Structure 1
Amino acid sequence: MKSAHALLRNWPADPRDGLPLALWDAASIEAATDGKASHQFQASGVEMDSRDVRPGDLFIALKGEAMDGHKFLPAAFTKGAVAAIVDRPVDYPHVLVEDTSEALHALAHYARERADAVRIGVTGSVGKTGVKEAIFASLDRSSRGAAHRSVRSYNNHVGVPLSLARLPARAKFGVFEMGMNHEGEIAPLSDHVRPHVTLITTIAPAHIENLGSMEAIADEKSQIFTGLMPGGTAIIPADSDYTPRMVANAKAMGVKIVTFGRSNDADVRLIDAIPVANGGSLVTAQLGPADENARLCYTVAEPGDHWVSNSLAVIAAVRAAGGDLGSAGLALGEMGGLKGRGARHNVDVPGGTALMIDESYNANPASMRATLKGLGQTPALRRVAVLGTMGELGEFFERFHEQLAEPIVDANIDHLILVGEGMSNLAAELSRRQAKSLGFVPSFEHCADTEEATTRLGKFGLTNGDVVLVKGSNFMGLGKLVTHYTSKASNGEN
């Protein structure tokens, strides 16, 4: 048997071993941006918000319409920044460039090219952040920490380049979220990332106020295919009304197409999903044609039918990226909800605990229906929902709010607290149903804002065994209600 010393001497070489450990140094920033460094330094991170700077970060002083990042240089260096990218000489270690926004793009492209990483781009009307996190968890597990992803919802014209600029040279995988509010926003993001794999989670009426139609949303999301590397893969939901449209858009790009879903002709197809004790699902999926007999069985910790579908998307993406499917199954079985996107908290109440489901970060008609269905499937003494106004629905605003009445009734909700002016349409529809005795209609109350909703929920009086769903568009600020209750929770997150 060889000694440990001999085994170490014969350790297989990896080309990444020759790459720098530091994320950036002065020389590489100069090479990327054509700038001039005032000092030699090494940086372990990149940040554009002085409030989020950590020791060792490179601070980029971006200029916007209303704010100039150069004003926050003292704050950034007080918090531990080692250098800054600036467009004027300053009394701090810096790299001087002509335009700091262009310098951020240059860093992003330099980082993209120096890392031999498989890049995955994720977009969709619903679920893209959760799916992005699940893909990352899968690849990070199998690569032993050599995966990277965009944090939070850094998915716009600034967040995507910033996420790329943070891509380590030694990374083996990079997962990037791409979002949009208007036509023409996805293609530039995909061009930044130049992904090897792209994924559309679903098409739903999010931002329909700005896009005008579901067809336009499907076409805009399909623009993620335009940045695909040669030989790249487009992953598309098979169960959407707009699947043929997205497939046609992908074919026009000449890329490989993989579909996922419940449809019989899906490439990654759901065979079975069985509820499990913790609220999740035991999923069996077919990978490829049935005659190949390639099946995968795994547990999804996150509750709800939408997460069964999300898991198929994750499996398809990990497989296309060359990741390990066993690790993907384990990661899906351990995933917990994200803050504002499904995090579950045990809250101390008289007689015991209540479960609070935090979906306060975003809401559109599709995600509202999915989470209300999930609430209806959650065992509870009483089911309570605090629902905030949905934004960016344009001419469909009143109709989409009114149409929430049916999934609310189907979910057997006991009490509703409706928040914001937009929910007046839903309140009117529920009142009409009560007056006409159209089946069971939950008790409800309508209030103006989050502060009033917090008071109303307190007066309602949660008790042991209750389950509370909190969901609305981010501008409603319902996260403050969640914080009010969870900051006093002694049991922590579920």
Structure 2
Amino acid sequence: MTALWTIDEICRATDGRAVGLDADAAINGISIDSRTISENDLFVAIKGDRFDGHDFVAKALEQGAGAALVSDAFADAHPDLSRLIVVDDALLGLERLGVAARQRMQGKVIAVTGSVGKTSTKEAIRITLQQFGKTHFSIKSFNNHWGVPLMLARMPADTEFAVFELGMSHADEIRPLVNMVSPHMAVITRIAPAHLENFKDLYGIADAKAEIFEGLLPGGHVFLGADHDYVAYLKGRAAGLGHENVTTYGFAEMADMHLSAPVLADGQIGCDFEFDAENGQLLVPQLGAHALPNAASAYLIGRALELDADALLAAIQHYVAPPGRGEIITLELEEGTATLVDESYNANPTSMLAALDTLSRNQHQGRTCVILGDMLELGAQAPDLHRSLAEPLKQLAPEQCYFVGPMMAHLFEDVRDDLVVEWLENRDTLLPKLANWLAPGDLVMVKGSNGIGLGALVQACREKWPPTKE
């Protein structure tokens, strides 16, 4: 197996010095978590909000790490330790290693951001491109100031396609990330009220997302989701930086790749599309219509890479929802099965409405239960934005609702006279309540911001009603 890096390559990339290491020794992986160290990994001792990785260097080395990237101060304080690469600052060292990985890679790089659908769109693109060549991609939501350089540093030199997710909660956060990634193509999925408490208005969010254009390589290609009110504004921001090659996609009539009304059948969502002289059908093994613009972005990127249209449409049919973002889970009850739609990873008003729309399209034999948690980081508008879900929820008319968190109390007050609903301060008592209610054929959707912890409820459901092993 070809080494990801050698010690000498890491030292040259990070301006580091090796202590007790062979310059030709191979490093096969990179980790910032001592609990996930594999043999011959490089452990990077970054300092986070809660932990300082330097406190776990000895443990990482004991567990088989080939080397540890550490700060000068730590090395000076631990002269007895060896197998170290010493730099001025471990996080800066990781950033330099990520930049070096990008510089040596000769394939095509795609960067994705947006208020909603970043991870799902990244997944659509990477699942599609994996059918055509060696593809590297951001895992989970590693999209911040340490996640992006970590994902870059893990990128093999012979990567053909790379897809990186760039996140932000404040202005000026995407700029340094995209400058490290240096993409050939940039995707903005949508502008929506996410992290609104940190911005004056949605134009501020659009400006922050538009920072992705600043690192786009000259001659690069911009792809914009068209189903929001800030498309023209983003086009203008791109043009102001010299990026005229812009393609839009979505259900909006003005989209360059226009999607027809979605149709749900046999557990798959589909639509027809028109793009220049091309037309065809997108078909995705998911329930939500919001998966179709994600798939459209993957198709457009593939065509920009001159990949075959029919092969792309076939590859897109492998695009399943990632955990926490629409994953469909079968719960094995004593006398049959129920279905859980896991949307527990994130929530804002736009994604909440999309999730409720998904339920309205779904045909199933039993009842519907909606479990909603607070939407976080919405600032002073949070109470009103939670209340804005009342009418769509009344129209859906689920047989049972559970609301979790202090902000959901506002929604509870607006629907309590029209729906069967219970408000809970936290998730602790939810599982037994759901167990008493649930019956074969029922459909349950769980959605809320990750900080509310509804992912733990989903995991508890998996453990209580696991799929039958054949």
Q: C-alpha distance in 2, partners of 1:249/1:43?
A: 41
Provide the residue aligned with 2:140 in structure 1: 152
Q: Structure 1 stretch 371-380 or stretch 394-403: which is displaced more? A: 371-380
Query: Would you identify which runs of 4 or more consecutive aligned residues in structure 1 move more than 6 Å?
Result: none
Q: Which stretch of the first structure deviates more once superposed, 224-233 or 401-410? A: 401-410
Deviates more, 1:65-74 or 1:32-41: 65-74
Residue 323 (structure 1) shift: 4.2
Unaligned runs of 5+ in 2: none
2:384 equivalent to 1:396: no
Q: 1:492 to 1:134 in 2, by over 3 A?
A: farther
Query: In structure 2, how many angstroms separate the alpha carbons of the residues matched to 1:303 and 1:358?
Result: 11
C-alpha distance in structure 2 between counterparts of 1:85 and 1:282, whole Å:
48
Listed one character per residue, the Cα deviations across residues 174-201 of structure 1 (whole Å, up to 9, x for unaligned) are 1000011111111111111111000011
Q: 1:232 and 1:33, CA in 2 relative to 1: closer, same or farther beyond 3 A? A: same
Cα shift at 1:217: 1.0
Query: What whole-Å deviation, never above 9, does each CA across 1:202-239 have from its counterpart, x for those lacking one?
Result: 11100111112111111111111110001001111223
CA shift for structure 1 position 353:
0.9
The residue number in structure 1 matching 2:426 is 449
Q: Could you tell me the TM-score, scaled by structure 2's length?
A: 0.93
Distance 1:54 1:211 in 2: 41
Change (3 A) 1:304 1:64: closer
- Correspondence 1:207 to 2:188: no
**Aligned partner of residue 429 in structure 2, secondary structure:** helix
Counting only pairs closer than 5 Å after superposition, residues 214-363 of structure 1 correspond to structure 2 as 214-255=202-243, 256-271=245-260, 273-278=262-267, 280-288=268-276, 293-363=277-347
Structure 2 residue aligned with 1:186: 174
State the match for 1:429 in structure 2.
414
Q: Distance in 2 between matches of 1:164 and 1:324?
A: 28
Match of 1:51 among 19, 35, 41: 35
Q: 1:322 & 1:450 partners in 2: Cα distance?
A: 48
Partners of 2:62 and 2:95 lie apart in 1 by 26
Farther off after superposition, 172-181 or 483-492? 483-492
- In 1, Cα distance between the equivalents of 2:183 and 2:395? 41
Amino acid at match of 2:30: V
Q: Secondary structure at 1:171's aligned position in 2?
A: coil
Within the candidate set 82, 89, 105, 2:95 is matched to 105
Give the Å deviation of 1:64.
Answer: 3.6
1:32 is displaced (CA, Å) by 0.5
RMSD: 1.8
Is the 8 Å Cα contact of residues 377 and 411 (structure 1) preserved in structure 2? no
- CA contact under 8 A between 1:120 and 1:321: conserved in structure 2? no
What does 1:12-23 align with in structure 2 at a 5 Å threshold?
A: 21-23=2-4
User: What amino acid sits opposite 1:202 in the alignment?
Assistant: R
> How far apart are residue 489 of structure 1 and its match?
3.1
Match of 2:12 in 1: 31
Flag the 1:314–1:210 CA change in 2: closer, same or farther, 3 A. same
Out of 460, 463, 486, the position equivalent to 2:439 is 463
Contact 1:301 1:332 in 2 (8 A): no
Q: What percentage of residue pairs aligned between the two structures are identical? A: 37
Amino acid at match of 2:345: Y
Structure 1: any 5+ residue segments left out of the alignment? Answer: 1-19, 435-440
Query: What is the correspondence of 1:474-493 to structure 2 with a 5 Å cutoff?
Result: 474-491=450-467
Moved more, 104-113 or 448-457: 448-457
Once the two structures are superposed, what CA deviation does each residue of 1:56-81 show, in whole Å capped at 9, x if it has no partner? 31111112455321210132234331
- The answer to whether the Cα contact below 8 Å between 2:29 and 2:154 also exists between their aligned partners in 1 is yes
Look up the match of 1:127: 117
**Counterpart mapping for 1:400-415 below 5 A:** 400-415=385-400
Counterpart of 1:276 in structure 2: which amino acid? A
CA distance in 1, matches of 2:167, 2:410: 28
Write the deviation string for residues 62-103 of structure 1: whole angstroms up to 9, x where unpaired: 124553212101322343311111121562422122221111
Indicate how the Cα distance of structure 1 residues 207 and 90 shifts in structure 2: closer, same or farther if over 3 A, else same. Answer: farther
Q: Secondary structure at the residue paired with 1:202?
A: coil
Instruction: State the 1:328 CA deviation.
Output: 3.3
Q: Secondary structure at the match of 2:206?
A: helix
- Equivalent residue in structure 1 for 2:66, among 71, 75, 82: 82
Q: Residues 196 and 233 of structure 1 are in contact (CA less than 8 Å); yes or no, is this contact kept in structure 2? A: yes
| 1:10 corresponding residue in structure 2 | none
Tell me: CA distance 1:234–1:122, structure 2 relative to 1, closer, same or farther (3 Å).
Answer: same
Task: Note the alpha carbon deviations across 1:300-324, whole angstroms, 9 max, x for none.
Answer: 1122221122222222233234444
CA distance in 2, matches of 1:148, 1:492: 33
The one-letter amino acid of 1:116's match is: Q
Of residues 92-101 and 227-236 in structure 1, the stretch that sits farther from structure 2 once superposed is 92-101
Give the Cα separation in 2 of the matches to 1:244 and 1:404. Answer: 27
Distance 2:54 2:425 in 1: 39
1:408 and 1:323 map into 2 onto residues whose CA distance is 42
